Chains A and B, each alone.
Chain A
Amino acid sequence: RKEVEQDPGPFNVPEGATVAFNCTYSNSASQSFFWYRQDCRKEPKLLMSVYSSGNEDGRFTAQLNRASQYISLLIRDSKLSDSATYLCVVNMGAAGNKLTFGGGTRVLVKP
């Protein structure tokens, strides 16, 4: 079993629609959780951290479910510019701030 698993997609989303996807992690001792966004042939960029109480940043909402060991990302009112790969990233408590990356979920927003 992979340490961080994501549905690779692609999720084909009509512009203006809502899309949500999850990520599961294997280590119950994981401490920090993030969603990064990566555009084609670009570097990953931090989209948002995921807090225990859930958090929202504009059209993006992240949730953490420690009991079931998954995090989720919801995008409302999808824009064409939201098309990207979304990487689920987990700090599993390893020394040196090592992060474990999921394989990414590809989202394609279409007119």
Chain B
Amino acid sequence: DAMVIQNPRYQVTQFGKPVTLSCSQTLNHNVMYWYQQKSSQAPKLLFHYYDKDFNNEADTPDNFQSRRPNTSFCFLDIRSPGLGDAAMYLCATSAPGQTYEQYFGPGTRLTVT
């Protein structure tokens, strides 16, 4: 089945220790998104890739970076995680020009100790 996969599902990192979360998709969608979701809040868009074009949200901290080496994979790098970065990180994909729907992966729950 075509899908969005995120690894790992749970990640524990230490304060200040860089961490990378990964997302892959078999949907062949050209847009990929990273969201941060904290408890009882709506998902907050961090950035997205339209093909290879990177689009950062204005309020996304510099601490968050992303890479998209090919259509299928996208990575979220947190250079120096703080306690406030503990959250669920959701990857999503979409295919513009169709129905604008986004399809989410299962998320990675990040804990910062």
Name A's B-contacting residues (CB within 8 A).
31-32, 34, 41-46, 49, 87, 91, 95-99, 101-104
Contacts and interface: CB of A to CB of B under 8 A. Distances in A.
A102 B41 CA distance: 9
Interface of B: 31, 41-43, 45, 48, 50, 55, 88, 90, 94, 96, 99-107, 109
A29 B50 CA distance: 22
B41 A103 contact: yes
The interface centre, meaning the residue of B42, B99, B105, B107 with most chain A CB atoms within 10 A of its CB, is: B42
Nearest to A43: B104
B90 A43 contact: yes
By secondary structure, the A interface counts as mixed
Contacts of A32: 99-100
A44 B94 contact: no
A91 B96 contact: no
Contacts of A42: 106-107
Contact of B31 (A41, A96, A101): A96
A96 B41 CA distance: 23
Contacts of A96: 31, 48, 50, 55, 96
